[in-house]
Structure 1
Amino acid sequence: MPGVHCRRIPPPTSTVRFSPISAVAAAPQKPQKTHSMPPEKQEIFKSLESWATQNVLPLLKPVKECWQPQSFLPDPSLPVEEFNEQVKALRERTADLPDEYFVVLVGDMITEEALPTYQTMINTLDGVRDETGASSSPWAIWTRAWTAEENRHGDLLKTFLYLSGRVDMLMIERTVQYLIGSGMDPGTENNPYLGFVYTSFQERATFVSHGNTARLAKEGGDPVLARICGTIAADEKRHELAYCKIVEKLLQVDPTGAMLAIADMMKKKITMPAHLMFDGQDRKLFEHFSAVAQRLGVYTADDYADILEALIQRWGLEKREGLSGEGRRGQDSCVG
């Protein structure tokens, strides 16, 4: 995992030269499907703008009520001696946390730092994208404000890791740059039906992951880090609620279309947002991170299955009516 080193290893003296590394991680080649939603269905999202204003936007918090990273970190405005004491206390609290814990914490932070990719992905979705960069559409307002709330997560974790002295920040920063440069194709096809199913799953997955890093930090003797991870997890839970509400509404106004979208994403399997994680050396970096997360119980294969089951229950897929024949086949695929 990038950056999880207690000391820097000197460069090898070998004269063997390695192949130049690309500026981005190579994405696996696969057919890319685009604009799969029929154009006429964009009208559904236009018709839901008033509903979104009343039911989705209230799940955002006013900026003045939001926590900020500085609330959890040493105060740089203090005299040098006091600031250094706060940094020393932070380092003492983290000293006994195992290296494997920092592997998953770094992995979570890198995932959060690739936020530009996620905003870009949402703005590929037909009918809900921010057409101007400052659109007054509730869909665009949500995306910008959601991004602003999420931005605090990576900022806080990155600064905490920097101050801990437990990680190699240069390798971490390179990994973040590679990941953002690589982008991602989660198979959402510019289709907001698929996109909102994807974000519903991912927000719940990050809630689970941050919740478990909070638990492990508390068990490891760092209550401040536990509070940091728990606070981030609470944000993810609130964001999950917003995306789940959108899918719920789509199931009401277009039950067959929404059911088929859910079945499609389940069939494809949800791609993790950081699956192209790369540090310039290890092409299997995400696999290694995932293995440690599985071993520590931070995010596991069982969690993936549990999230799917929770969404099926939340959206009441088993009892949904008003479906076409194709919609019922999609329903069987989801709940069968």
Structure 2
Amino acid sequence: MTIAPVQRPASKAWTDAKLILALEEVVETELNRHLKAAKEWMPHEYVPWSQGRDFDGVLGGDAWSIEQSKITPLGRIALVVNLLTEDNLPSYHHEIATMFGREGAWGTWVHRWTAEEGRHGIAIRDYLLATRAVDPVELERARMSHMSAGFESDNAHSMLQSVAYVAFQELATRISHRNTGHFAGDPLVDQLLAKIANDENLHMVFYRNLLKAALQLAPDQAMRAIADVVTDFRMPGHGIPGFERAAAQIAIGGVYNLRIHHDDVLQPVLRHLKVMEVDGLGPEGARAQEELGLFLEGLHAQAVRFEERQAALLARRAANAGRR
């Protein structure tokens, strides 16, 4: 899809308010495209309710124990991280509604996005509890802790930084869900996460196309925003209790790691935007473009080192397993 060039005004600096107004038509176009592309799906259809039974507590059911779960250990870790990330939706809604507003095409998109994201957490939690895949007590305590801390984007200090962040983050979330489904060991949860990943991909396309229009409109400011977000990117779930340990296991297991982040998240979006091909930039834009190029080179080198460590660790694990 091509986006019609947006006329640049004489002014070099854009305020957030002016950018939001100038991009309203693009938002409306992207919203209409999204509504045509989005396919309705029902979360309850992917939850095996017949497997559910009462837990201990008020109803006097059976206490949870890990052998009741049929998903893989890696799948369990990744599913919990993915769910807790989705749980912070009220904070995410507050962030984008405050930044983009609740009126016109922007407001319609904010509410539509929130509605679609809301079903992700509902569906994953229902699946986990119905199948006894995780400890429900620990899950609820982690939810309370994570949501009590709220969320504030590291980079979302401007409208352009907000758009740039979600363009990359939505693709990262899509890949995390999709890979989690592949590694979870249950075909049903793989189907469920494929539906969720499809939603996330459509969200990514919306924000990516919006970012493309912003890059045409205010190239220097947009380039600066992209460089700031890419060079300091963190997933929105970084505040989850025990996130660093979980992230390490997820990385080694191949759900999401530096190589995936570089190859499957950053590069596809940057190539689509042709960020490194943008010319005619002012000093600040050119500096941001150069910083971005250097950062990507360094990240690729880090990914190579990670892959070497990953391969060595997995080889040791395989050898140890063979001796048992």
TM range (shorter): 0.7 to 0.9
Does residue 102 (structure 1) correspond to residue 76 (structure 2)? The answer is yes
SS at match of 2:98: coil
Q: Which residue of 2 aligns with 1:14?
A: none
Does residue 333 (structure 1) correspond to residue 291 (structure 2)? The answer is yes
Distance 1:233 1:326, change over 3 A: same
Distance 1:54 1:121, change over 3 A: same
SS at match of 2:201: helix
Q: Distance in 1 between matches of 2:22 and 2:72?
A: 52
Give the AA of the match of 2:236.
P
Distance 1:320 1:62, change over 3 A: closer
**2:41 aligns with one of 46, 67, 78:** 67
**1:322 aligns with one of 280, 296, 299:** 280
Q: Which residue of 1 aligns with 2:17?
A: 42
Tell me by how many angstroms 1:248 deviates.
0.3
Q: Distance in 2 between matches of 1:315 and 1:253?
A: 13
Gaps of 5+ in 1: 1-37, 76-82, 88-93, 279-284
Does residue 262 (structure 1) correspond to residue 226 (structure 2)? The answer is yes
Q: Which residue of 1 aligns with 2:129?
A: 162
Q: Distance in 2 between matches of 1:246 and 1:254?
A: 12
SS at match of 2:285: helix
Q: Distance in 2 between matches of 1:106 and 1:61?
A: 32
Q: Distance in 1 between matches of 2:217 and 2:80?
A: 41
Does residue 149 (structure 1) correspond to residue 121 (structure 2)? The answer is no
SS at match of 2:238: coil
Q: Distance in 1 between matches of 2:52 and 2:108?
A: 41
How far does the alpha carbon of each residue in 1:285-325 deviate from its partner, in whole angstroms, 9 at most, with x for none? 00111011112111112122222222221110111123112
So what's the TM-score if we normalise by structure 2?
Answer: 0.77
Q: Identity rate of aligned residues, in percent?
A: 29
Gaps of 5+ in 2: 1-12, 55-67, 295-324
Contact 1:56 1:245 in 2 (8 A): no
How far does the alpha carbon of each residue in 1:1-50 deviate from its partner, in whole angstroms, 9 at most, with x for none? xxxxxxxxxxxxxxxxxxxxxxxxxxxxxxxxxxxxx7744223212212
Q: Distance in 1 between matches of 2:52 and 2:46?
A: 15
Tell me by how many angstroms 1:62 deviates.
8.9
Q: Which residue of 2 aligns with 1:289?
A: 246
Q: Which residue of 1 aligns with 2:238?
A: 275
Give the AA of the match of 1:253.
L
Higher helix share: 2
Does residue 311 (structure 1) correspond to residue 269 (structure 2)? The answer is yes
Q: Which residue of 1 aligns with 2:6?
A: none
Q: Which residue of 1 aligns with 2:27?
A: 52
Q: Distance in 2 between matches of 1:104 and 1:248?
A: 31
Q: Distance in 2 between matches of 1:41 and 1:287?
A: 34
- 1:142-291 equivalences in 2 (<5 Å): 142-217=109-184, 220=185, 222-267=186-231, 269-278=232-241, 285-291=242-248
Q: Which residue of 2 aligns with 1:122?
A: 96
Extract structure 1 runs of 4+ deviating beyond 3 A: 38-41, 60-63, 83-87
Tell me by how many angstroms 1:119 deviates.
1.0
So what's the TM-score if we normalise by structure 1?
Answer: 0.74
Contact 2:224 2:288 in 1 (8 A): yes
Give the AA of the match of 1:254.
A
Count, aligned residues? 268
Contact 1:124 1:190 in 2 (8 A): no
Contact 2:74 2:183 in 1 (8 A): no
Distance 1:323 1:109, change over 3 A: same
Give the AA of the match of 1:54.
T
**Worse-superposed segment, 47-56 or 94-103:** 94-103
